[in-house]
Amino acid sequence: MSTTVKRVYGYLAEFESASSLYKASEKVRDAGFRKWDCYTPYPVHGLDDAMGIKRSILPYFVFFGGLTGLATAFFLAYITQVGIYPTVVQGKPANIFTVPAFFPIMFELTVLFSGFTTLFGLLGLCQLPRWNHPLFASRQFHRSTDDGFFIAIEARDPKFSAEGTKGFLDEIGGANIELVEDDGN
């Protein structure tokens, strides 16, 4: 044991199934906790409502990402084909009426930019990659990617109290309740 003082990250409790986790998270939500999360091996549908999470705002980012792609393709094609290097090929004019021939590339770049916005938007919203996390120090937490269903309530939540939260998790059906420490990594 090191002698440095460790901060408390929060309490981690295990639940036996998706159904019991669902019911427990409704109770945590109703108790007014804010800094808490469920950890599951697969996306549990319905859990967002039980936790009171709003719909993801990712689509708005992606919409503007897509528009950027569309504009990029249009200007790339228009400026080069009509502006600086006009070439008459395939009997098509070198003016605004040639735009239908640019549609395939405008579509492809819309998809390309949207796709990458989805990836980076997701990483931003999830604050990933983050290779270390206090929960990884827990002995049971590795089961969250196998067959474990967990709830963790963080110490930075205003409603958190060392004894009260532990009792609360016990009351809503949590097992193997564990105090997780934050060693500052």
Partner 1 sequence: MADAATKTTSESSAPREVKLPVLEREKLILNKRSYHWITERVCGVVENKQPAIWWALFIPAVIMAVVGVGGGLIYLITTGVGVWGNTNRVMWGWPIVNFVFWIGIGHAGTLISAILFLTRQNWRTSINRAAEAMTIFAVICAGIFPAFHVGRVWMAWYLAPIPNANAIWQNFKSPLLWDVFAVSTYFSISLVFWFLGMVPDLATIRDRCKNGVKKMLYGIFSLGWRGSNRHWSHYEMAYLLLAALSTPLVLSVHSVVSFDFATSIVPGWHTTIFPPYFVAGAVFGGFAMVLTIMIPARLIYGLQDMITMKHIDNMAKIILLTGSIVGYAYLMELFVAFYSGAEYEMKAFTYRITGPYWWAYVCMMSCNVLSPQLFWFKWCRENLWVVMGVCMCVNAGMWFERFVIIVTTLARDFMPANWKYYNQSWVDIGLFLGTIGLFLSLFLLFLRFLPCINIAEVKWAKEESDVHHDDKKAHPDPGAVVEPAYQHELEKGTAEV
Cα gap 172→24, rounded to integer Å: 6
Q: Which of residues 75-114 bind partner 1 (CB under 8 A)?
A: 76-77, 80-81, 84-85, 87, 89-90, 92, 98, 101-102, 104-105, 107-109, 111-112, 114
Question: CB under 8 Å to 156, separation ≥6 — which residues?
Answer: 10, 35
Q: Is 163 in the site for partner 1 (CB under 8 A)?
A: no
Cα gap 24→14, rounded to integer Å: 11
Token pair recorded at residue 1: 């044991």
- How far, rounded to the nearest angstrom, does the alpha carbon of residue 69 sit from its chain's CA centroid? 23
**Binds partner 1 by CB under 8 A, chosen from 27, 37, 137, 182:** 37
Q: Tell me the sheet residues that pair with 182.
A: 7
Which residue number, 131 or 163, has a Cβ lying nearer to partner 1?
131
Which residue number, 35 or 166, has a Cβ lying nearer to partner 1?
35
What SS3 state is found at 151?
Answer: strand
Q: Is 39 in the site for partner 1 (CB under 8 A)?
A: yes
**Binds partner 1 by CB under 8 A, chosen from 1, 5, 96, 128:** 128
Q: Is 181 in the site for partner 1 (CB under 8 A)?
A: no
Q: What is the DSSP letter of 42?
A: S
Going by their DSSP bridges, the two strands 175-182 and 149-154 should be labelled as unpaired
**Binds partner 1 by CB under 8 A, chosen from 68, 118, 140, 176:** 118
Q: Is 52 in the site for partner 1 (CB under 8 A)?
A: no
**Binds partner 1 by CB under 8 A, chosen from 34, 139, 142, 156:** 142
CB atoms within 10 A of CB 165: 24
Q: Which of residues 17-36 bind partner 1 (CB under 8 A)?
A: 17-22
What SS3 state is found at 123?
Answer: helix
Cα gap 32→26, rounded to integer Å: 10
Would you tell me which residues interact with partner 1 (CB under 8 A)?
Answer: 17-22, 37-48, 50-51, 53, 55-56, 58-59, 62, 76-77, 80-81, 84-85, 87, 89-90, 92, 98, 101-102, 104-105, 107-109, 111-112, 114-116, 118-119, 121-123, 125-126, 128-133, 135-136, 141-142, 144-147
